[in-house]
């Protein structure tokens, strides 16, 4: 399967714990996005990477959130000291920018986080 993959698919944690999610984009894609979707709402932008550089972060991304893409391939999103309000679906998408590409974003299956 050469699509975007995310791990884990589901995570249940207790308030105050740290969690880390992983996203593996489509291999030749140079751009990677993280979005968050709460129940009944559309996704919201969190941050994005162009290769290994994190170029924009949303105001939604508090100091407890950190994202990395160390080698310009997979990315991790860490949430420290989780709160119940962090419960959501975390979606990753990747795209190819440059040349004749259309920058169409392809989505992973998401990681559903539940904070008890």
Partner 1 sequence: KNEVEQSPQNLTAQEGEFITINCSYSVGISALHWLQQHPGGGIVSLFMLSSGKKKHGRLIATINIQEKHSSLHITASHPRDSAVYICAARVIQGAQKLVFGQGTRLTINP
Show contacts of 42-50: CB within 8 Å, 24+ apart: 43/89, 43/91, 46/77, 46/90, 49/75, 50/97
Q: Work out how close the CB of 35 gets to partner 1 at its nearest, in angstroms, rounded to a whole number.
A: 8
- Binding span for partner 1 by CB under 8 A among 16-24, 61-69, 78-86, 105-113: 105-113
3-state secondary structure (DSSP) of residue 20: strand
Q: Work out how close the CB of 16 gets to partner 1 at its nearest, in angstroms, rounded to a whole number.
A: 25
Please report, as residue ranges, which positions from 3 to 62 form the binding site for partner 1 (by CB under 8 A).
33, 35, 37, 40-45, 48, 55-56
> Using an 8 Å Cβ cutoff, are 22 and 87 in contact?
no
Contact letters for partner 1, residues 81-100 (x by CB under 8 A): --------x-x-x---x---
Token pair for residue 3? 């699509």
DSSP 77: E
104 binds partner 1 (CB under 8 A): yes
112 binds partner 1 (CB under 8 A): yes
């Amino acid at each position: 399967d050469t699509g975007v993959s995310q791990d884990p698919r589901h995570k249940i944690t207790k308030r105050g714990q740290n969690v880390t999610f992983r996203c593996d984009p489509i291999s030749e894609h140079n751009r990677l996005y993280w979005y968050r979707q709460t129940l009944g709402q559309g996704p919201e932008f969190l941050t994005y990477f162009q290769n290994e550089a994190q170029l924009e972060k949303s105001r939604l991304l508090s100091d407890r959130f950190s994202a990395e893409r160390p080698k310009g391939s997979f990315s991790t999103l860490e949430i420290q000291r989780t709160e119940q309000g962090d419960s959501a679906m975390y979606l990753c998408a990747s795209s190819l920018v440059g040349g004749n590409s259309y920058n169409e974003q392809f989505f992973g299956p998401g990681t559903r986080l539940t904070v008890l």
